[in-house]
Amino acid sequence: MGDTGKWWKGGLIYQIYPRSFMDANGDGVGDLPGITAKLDYIADLGVDAIWISPFFTSPMQDFGYDIADYRGVAPVFGRLEDFTALLDRAHQLGLKVIIDQVISHSSDRHPWFLQSRESRDNPRADWYVWAPARADGAPPNNWLSLFGGSAWSWDSRRRQYYLHNFLCSQPDLNFHNPAVRRAQLDNMRFWLEMGVDGFRMDVVNFYFHSAGLEDNPPAPAGAAALTSVSRDNPYAFQRHQYDISQPENLAFLRELRALLDQYPGSASVGEISADNALELMAQYTAGNDKLHMAYTFDLLSDQCSADYIRAVIRRLESAIDDGWPCWALSNHDVMRCLSRWGAAEDPQAFPRIALALLLSLRGSACLYQGEELGLPQAQVPYERLRDPYGLAFWPAFKGRDGCRTPMVWEARPGGGFSRGEPWLPVDPRHLPLSVQRQRAQADSTLQAARRLIHWRRQQPALVSGDIKLHDNTGEILCWSRRCAQQKLLVALNMGGQTRRAALPQDIDKVLEGHGFSGRIERREIILGPYQALFAQLV
């Protein structure tokens, strides 16, 4: 991919949710040795890196996003030695390794919090966000937890409230305290010294809160809800002006970048969930001194019309300047793309055109485990739900378990994921889509994904080129990608009807080898259902 020091720029990152990828010891929960055993499969796809969701020591109230030891491995996932073995094998296969960093909050069982809550004058008393009650005993302000209810919980030892943007067992660290920032940077240095290639920064805009603890204003009437939040969640009723996305965040991201720059080739990707997410993405990645790249939930929403996708690209491009986005259509927090965008579409053809969209945008991309198989959202009965978010908002919102069910390696009950009972049930509809079965089918979604990924690696304009949208193409998405080595035209038909559009630029030739059959006749682009066209520009 050219400059190996910038492998991330235009790179494709395969996201692994470790609880559900592969279970090596038969306890029903995926683990680090299980990931290592399947790295050859991932490398064969043609991706550049893996991103592993949290595997650190945790009571698992939020399944690893509540960390009790930032340098330890949860026993359910293995040992630290298992991670170093994984890291070594990935590097042998040419895969970079990114690990999650959940530094905005910890578990309430972290030694830091256990000490902080003991008194108001201990050495870590100010490491978390504490505030007195109002005169009537109510919480300090109206801030809400994304997982429901107030963002404040009362602690009887300190006789104060502490802040938690998520579960009450996930207290927020106080990033206004420089000792907290240093401690978290030191924790990241630990993993960099071990040899990891970078970090995915969880809720990267949540680090700082307004020290004034002002009430958030209500969201304006008719305002769109955060794309990462259920419409039934009161969190969406507020404009999050004071609890997240504070200007002090930029200075900390520069501290983080200075650390990463000490380890050449390392990279960072930040997750942004906010009212103004695209604008924050631009701020957080501009100037080559903060995040290397960032992603938002704008393409993880329910909206998928051509006009909506064009509007997202246009808004980002108008703001991002020299920044760099990282796109995703599925992850461990949202309904899988095939069910969210493609519920009414052809279940075999739609995942392929969705991947073509992902790999044609300017930026890097994340591919969530199972996306290459075309997995739909799994059906998880209420009695098997594990996600606290889903349990809190059932039945209007069924939570995140449906996108977290085990990977299907074989077409037999349990999917070959574990010798034991899987922690979440395997949806029987997934079994015909197993890796085993799709490897044996030349026309499978897996084979199509592998072909497209490898083809895209050879197209420098798709990897690192700029982008120019072409309007007036109706339901066909169309843009140009350009770099010094190549100029391409991209056209995508995400629907089940043949569509046509006027050719916006002169082309030299239509490219092949990617698996799609779009064509040009009499200066008109003609795309059959779920088809794409890639053409060399004059």
Q: Radius of gyration over alpha carbons of the chain, in Å?
A: 23
Q: 188 in helix, strand or coil? A: helix
CB 167 within 8 A of CB 109: no
Q: For residue 138, how many other CB atoms are within 10 A of its CB? A: 12
CB 65 within 8 A of CB 166: yes
Residue 427 known to be catalytic: no
Alpha helices in 248-381 (DSSP H): 248-261, 277-285, 306-320, 337-340, 350-360
CA distance to 65, 240, 414, per residue, from 194 (Å): 21, 37, 35
Cβ-based neighbours of 199, under 8 Å, separated by 6 or more: 98, 99, 100, 101, 188, 191, 260, 268, 269
CA dist 180 and 171 (Å) reads 13
CB 532 within 8 A of CB 492: yes
Structure tokens at 46: 């043609």
Beta bridge pairs of residue 295: 271
CA dist 234 and 196 (Å) reads 38
CB 67 within 8 A of CB 54: yes
CA distance to 17, 30, 213, 417, per residue, from 38 (Å): 13, 12, 47, 11
Helices (H) and strands (E) in the chain, counts: 14, 21
CA dist 358 and 1 (Å) reads 18
DSSP 58-120: ---TTTTSS-SEEEEE-TTT--HHHHHHHHHHHHHTT-EEEEEE--SB--TTSHHHHHHTT-S
Type of residue at 392 = A
Choosing from 100, 271, 298, 345, the catalytic residue is 271
Residue 394 φ then ψ, to 5°: -60, 145
Choosing from 202, 371, 372, 387, the catalytic residue is 202
Alpha helices in 375-473 (DSSP H): 388-393, 435-439, 445-457, 460-464
CA-nearest of 377, 375, 515 to 438 is: 375
Residue 524 known to be catalytic: no
Cβ-based neighbours of 317, under 8 Å, separated by 6 or more: 362, 467, 469
Give catalytic residue positions: 202, 271
